[in-house]
Structure 1
Amino acid sequence: MPRPERKVTATEKKQAREVSLRRIGGLFREHTWSLTVVVLIIVISSIVGMASPFLLREVIDVALPHADLTLLVWLVTGMVAVAAVTAALGVVQTWISTAVGQRVMHRLRTDVFTHLQRQSIGFFTRTRTGEVQSRITNDIGGMESVVTSTATSIAANLTTAIATLAAMAALSWQLSLVSLVVLPPAVWLSRRVARMRREITAQRQRELADLNVTIDEGLSISGVQLAKTMGTAPALIDRFTASSRRLIDLELRSELAGRWRMAAMTIVFAGIPAVIYLAAGMPFTAGTLSIGTLVAFTALQAGLFRPLLGLLNVGVQLTSSLALFARIFEYLDLPVEIEEPARPVHIPAPRGHLRFEDVTFAYAGSEAAAVAGVTLDVPAGTSLALVGETGSGKSTIAALIARLYDPTAGRVTIDGVDVRDLSLADLASIVGVVSQETYLLHTTVRENLRYARPGATDEQIEAAARAAQIHDMIAGLPDGYDTMVGSRGHRFSGGEKQRIAIARTLLRDPRILVLDEATSALDNETERAVQRAFDELARGRTTVTIAHRLSTIRDADQIVVVDHGRVLESGTHDALVGAGGRYAALAA
């Protein structure tokens, strides 16, 4: 079924209203000198351009009536020179202003991407993937014309308007007053149109985000497989079509918002020359204006309305773009839940001694603790196995080791150092994680492995693949390690993807290895082969294993049974079986 149109929340409306123009201006602060040069060029260009009407007046009133060919040549040459100078200055101005705008766009894109990279896993589990992509592409892309041209457009139009007004007043202050009578209604009208477009822009960007979500859900490998196996492709098409149709309506409303009003103003502006000609024939001006002056004034008046309309349109564009800025600033203002420490502690030679000290953790919005008062001690080089029913908190405990989340209370330490005091890069080099959900990049097998260690040699890559029992399979491919993995690795079986992911983690040689159902996708024979590799690699390395199949963790130095986030019992396999508790029931 087509998805109903999402209602706009009060929070979203408030954000669209409260974007600070000062904050938008702050994006250009580091480019002050470049913008100053642009403004100077614009001022010079405007002043030079004002010479043309006066040259035209001399041509009509002096050179032509007196058949002064020499003067006419100089005047015409001057008009061409003015056009050439203003054109050259315009090229330089456009180059500088566009470069500034693109740098601001680059900063916005990288700031948003960098800030989102610092968000916790919880943010991404709460947010639709297509929504994130839409903010970075559609919203920032929609701001491009405003960012790259608004500042210079304001400066150019304002300078031109002021210079033109001065020139018009010099020619005839009476006619100048007649020309400006339409300004107040034009300003009022532009403000109304701007407010209309801002609301429509906010709706359009939200609809674009919904469209991106539909694309991501419907055209990813997993989404296509789901749609084909569930027979939901027609419903997805209807959903996409309905969203696209709503976009048509919003785009039309955005383009046509106030268009009739602005068209009416354009007609009025066009009618002003007729009023000027009429005023020139009135008794109070009759005989006081030469033909050249009248023609020059009319040319100036036409030149005045262009920058005035430009200024009004810029105001409309800027106001309507506030909805885009609001959505971008909303992401930039997200609090960072997993902060880099102000003074990170470095462990020169990590041993891998892992401790949980009365650790409690609850997911955002949940009243129940996912982990409650857990205390564990895993000496360096030993193995810990976490077992329990689905949803008991095992994976959450593993996530706290890699600092995908921070404890609500208590602390997790490595070699006596709180993981929150380690830099994120150092922690990632110490703790390696292989999860049950394997994610491979759309590139070659070699580059997928090298992603974990960019400087790894081919020999080191092959050694890691051998350890993960995957080298022979890769070597047997037509292109070997240069074989393209395909989107999310779907050209490989589940077991093959899992072993590639294991090799990728092993390539980093972490002191602590976290295996969260790392062999869940493997058949029994492959699992035994990989387990033998793990047993070899675990020597001198701290290993934390989560597994439903107890056969894989029988030889662990310490087995901990978890239930509802709490430790029920711990010990070796034999001791726990002999105790006749929960583990014995699971092992039965």
Structure 2
Amino acid sequence: MEGSTAVSEAEEAKTTPEVSLRRVGGLLKPHWPRLAVVIGIIVASSLVGMATPFLLRAIIDQALPAQNVRLLSWLVAGLIVVAVLTAVFGLTQTWIATAVGQRVMHQLRVDVFTHLHRQSVSFFTRTRAGEIQSRITNDIGGMQAVVTSTATSIASNLTTAIATAVAMLALSWQLFMVSMLVLPPALLLARRVAKVRKEITGKRQRELADLNVIIEESLSISGVQLSKTMGTGPALIERFAGSSSRLVDLQLRSQLAGRWRGATMNIIFAAIPAIIYLSAGLPPAAGQLTIGTVVAFTSLQSRLFQPMMGLLDVGVSLSSSTALFARIFEYLDLAVEVDDPALPVRLPQPVRGHLRFENVSFTYPGNDEPAINRISLDVPPGSSLALVGETGSGKSTVAALIVRLYDPSEGRITVDGFDLRALRLNELVGAIGVVGQETYLLHASVRENLRYARPDATDEQLEWAARAAQVHDVIAALPDGYDTLVGARGHRFSGGEKQRIAIARTLLRDPPILVLDEATSALDNSTERAVQRALEKLAQGRTTVTIAHRLSTVRDADQIVVMRAGRILESGTHDSLVSIGGFYAALTA
């Protein structure tokens, strides 16, 4: 496991691009009006805060020695007003900045989710589901602090540092030069910490993705059933514990990466005031600096180092977070293989359902041999086509191309004379309904699962579709009827019941073209015959493409096409193919 993890890390390191800070800053561009308000508040807060050391110097050098109670009262009141204004400014700044950051994170999550929905099926077949979930949740969540606080931290710390430096120069340029001794080592240490954290952050996010994959694969209903029947529970627990242990180590390394820098800087910070006091007592400064000036200066010096360290910390956070931004932007930059056309056309209404394949070939990504090779089919409106053949002959690939899960490598597929690639995907989905080999039901009620296909469907329409699919009586017999939860992936129901609910869900949309890819494969003989009768009735006036291993379900099709190794081997009606005595006849024997 560790070896494979190392390999995946090495591969990702090669493919993950560097991210420019300009692109990261572009995330904040739509929110500049709000950020401008925040920056204005920050500047005002910094200027107000600069009054504190000068008020303090006046108290020490003027009000207290002269025992001027009136002046002392005004100066103390000034300190309180400064504190109140600073607190109000801080709360307002935090509220606006956090709101901006949350909006940026929301938009980023939506953009990634939307872009991934536009990807072809091939992307999801080669990408682990847990990896996708980790990037949307863990990676974007890890970026939240950076996006929320970076702009305001830079503005706040930079403004405070500049204002403080000016005030320090106004008090004593000699002491200011002494204070600047800390800057070179701070910059050097920050640069080293940023490099270490960036490397650790990338490893940590990859380990989080691996952990998500283990959880998604092992704790799904299918994964649990597999582990229990195969006895792999202890091995899965050991694998999870190993990944979690590595994650603990990476989290510790990430947190401790800057601690030694912090400890070093604290020592330097503690030494600087002592050096300032020493400098104030040595010639030529001795006698030229008042006690109030020295106290005010040391107060400013502490205020200067805090924003300086804040700016350095922002730099460290930005550098380390580029690993997160790179993983997110990598998904956003994925090319969309199957997309809406630039200038889409609309199908004439009503859709007749004339389906044609014209010399169509298709090769799956990463494969050398075509899955289907120069297939030509003509399915007139309202007729039925049956595809039969051995496993791997290309039947399901034909179904996938009809609903445009993939685009042909060569040739074209048309509906009523229009190339599928010229139509909007939503329009195509409205014209073609499919029930596949694998039935997927949401963890929701039966009613919600049916309305997933048609949200505005009435209860009467739901019942009509369920009756047509021969599943209404099953649903009605449940304690909560159509409001019964189907359970994770529909495991409350048998395979045949799930298949019939899926059929009802597709029929609810009443598509002019219906694709049944092994749609009755999970049904027993009795139920299959009942559903087949319902499908035959509903197929009247509807173009139907049926893919089946059981030849009994396709005997009455208008066309039967026998496929082998991606090519059409035979075609005709049931009787004509049997009379030929070829491959189909052998299958029926």
TM-score grouping bracket, smaller chain normalisation: over 0.9
In 2, distance between residues paired with 1:242 and 1:198?
A: 23
1:524 and 1:556 map into 2 onto residues whose CA distance is 19
Deviations 1:417-462 (A, max 9, x none): 1111111111001000100100000000000000000000000000
Indicate if the aligned counterparts of 1:441 and 1:489 stay in contact, CA closer than 8 A: yes
SS, match of residue 376 in structure 2? strand
Aligned pairs for 1:566-585 within 5 A: 566-585=567-586
Give deviations 1:13-56, integer Å, cap 9, x for gaps: 35656111110000111111111111111011101100010000
CA distance in 2, matches of 1:16, 1:56: 54
Q: May I ask how many residue pairs the two structures share in their alignment?
A: 588
- 2:411 corresponds to 1:410: yes
1:252-289 residue CA offsets vs partner (Å, 9 max, x unmatched): 11111142133112211121100100000011100111
* Alpha-carbon distance in 1 for matches of 2:343, 2:458: 33
Judging changes above 3 Å, is the alpha-carbon distance between structure 1 residues 11 and 27 closer, same or farther for their aligned structure 2 residues? farther
**What is the match of residue 215 of structure 1?**
215
SS in 2 for 1:544: strand
| Separation of aligned partners in 1, 2:390 and 2:547 | 11
Whether the aligned pair in 1 keeps the contact of 2:388 and 2:395 (CA below 8 Å) is: yes
Task: Measure the CA separation in 2 of the matches of 1:166 and 1:175.
Answer: 13
SS at structure 1 position matched to 2:66: coil
1:548 aligned partner: 549
Provide the rounded CA distance (Å) in 1 between the counterparts of 2:419 and 2:266: 68
Residue 392 of structure 2: aligned partner: 391
Query: What amino acid maps onto 1:485 in structure 2?
Result: V
Structure 2 partner of 1:401: 402
Q: Distance in 1 between matches of 2:569 and 2:412?
A: 20
Contact residue 404 and residue 420 of structure 2 kept, 8 A: yes
1:372 Cα offset (Å): 0.6
Change over 3 Å in CA distance of 1:118–1:181 after alignment to 2: same
* 1:146-545 correspondence to structure 2 within 5 Å: 146-347=146-347, 348-545=349-546
Relative to the length of structure 2, the TM-score reads: 0.99
Secondary structure class of the residue paired with 1:374: strand
User: Which residue identity lines up with residue 586 of structure 1 in the other structure?
Assistant: L
CA distance in 2, matches of 1:378, 1:302: 82
State the distance in 2 between where 1:364 and 1:40 align: 54
SS in 2 for 1:226: helix
- How far off is 1:5 after superposition? 3.5
Q: Secondary structure at the match of 2:19?
A: coil
User: Which residue is equivalent to 1:587?
Assistant: 588
Cα distance in 2 between the residues matched to 1:3 and 1:542: 52
**Which residue number corresponds to residue 112 of structure 2?**
112
Q: Does 1:74 align with 2:104?
A: no
Query: Is the 8 Å Cα contact of residues 353 and 542 (structure 1) preserved in structure 2?
Result: yes
- Which residue identity lines up with residue 578 of structure 1 in the other structure? S
Instruction: Measure, in 2, the Cα distance between the counterparts of 1:27 and 1:464.
Output: 46
CA offset digits 1:282-319 (Å, max 9, x no partner): 11100111111110000000111111111111111111
Instruction: Specify the alignment match of 1:53 in structure 2.
Output: 53
Deviates further, 465-474 or 261-270: 261-270
CA contact (8 A) 1:358 1:410 kept: yes
In 1, Cα distance between the equivalents of 2:95 and 2:454? 41
Task: Give the Cα–Cα distance (whole angstroms) in 2 for the partners of residues 249 and 381 of structure 1.
Answer: 64
Pairwise CA distance, 1:520: 0.3
CA contact (8 A) 1:16 1:322 kept: no
Q: Deviations over 1:113-139 (max 9, x none)?
A: 000000001100000010000000000
How much does 1:337 deviate? 0.4
Q: Aligned with 2:427: secondary structure?
A: helix
Report the equivalent of 1:23. 23
SS of 1:143's equivalent?
helix
**2: CA distance between counterparts of 1:345 and 1:395?**
27
How many Å separate the matches in 2 of 1:287 and 1:11?
A: 67
Mapped to 1, the partners of 2:215 and 2:2 lie a distance apart of 14
> 2:9 touches 2:206 (CA, 8 Å); kept in 1?
no
- Return the alpha-carbon distance in structure 1 between the equivalents of residues 426 and 50 of structure 2: 60
Secondary structure of 2:462 counterpart: helix
Q: Which residue of 2 aligns with 1:93?
A: 93
Relative to 1, partners in 2 of residues 1:420 and 1:586: Cα closer, same or farther, differing over 3 Å?
same
8 Å contact kept, 1:430–1:511: yes
Quick one: distance in 2 between partners of 1:373 and 1:361? 8
Q: Alignment identity in percent?
A: 70
The 8 Å contact of residues 2 and 238 in structure 1, kept in 2 or not, is answered as no
Q: Distance in 1 between matches of 2:258 and 2:459?
A: 63
Q: Do the aligned residues in 2 keep the contact of 1:387 with 1:559 (CA within 8 Å)?
A: yes
Provide Cα deviations, 1:298-344, integer angstroms capped at 9, x if missing partner. Answer: 00001111111111111111110000000000100110001111121
Residue 178 and residue 15 in structure 1: after superposition, are their counterparts in 2 closer, same or farther (change >3 A)? Answer: farther
Q: CA separation in 1, counterparts of 2:171 and 2:538?
A: 90
Distance 1:6 1:473 in 2: 51
Cα distance between partner residues in 2 of 1:334 and 1:454: 31
Partner of 2:561 in structure 1?
560
The SS at the match of 2:373 is strand
Q: Render the CA deviation track for 1:530-576: whole Å, top value 9, x for unaligned.
A: 00000000000000000000000000000001111111111000000
The residue type equivalent to 1:585 in the other structure is A
- For the Cα contact (< 8 Å) 2:443–2:490, is it kept in 1? yes
Structure 2 CA distance, aligned partners of 1:125 and 1:402? 17
Q: Secondary structure at the match of 2:6?
A: coil
Does the C-alpha gap of structure 1 residues 573 and 15 become closer, same or farther in structure 2, counting only changes over 3 Å? closer
SS at match of 1:509: coil
Cα distance in 2, alignment partners of residues 97 and 270 from structure 1: 32
Q: Please give the secondary structure, in 1, of the residue aligned with 2:7.
A: coil
Q: Within 2, Cα distance between the matches of 1:161 and 1:121?
A: 53
Q: Is the 8 A contact 1:577 1:583 kept in 2?
A: yes
The answer (yes or no) to whether the contact 1:2–1:239 under 8 Å persists in 2 is no
Cα gap change, 1:17/1:63 in structure 2, threshold over 3 Å: closer, same or farther? farther
Structure 1 pair 2/288, CA: closer, same or farther in 2 (3 Å)? closer
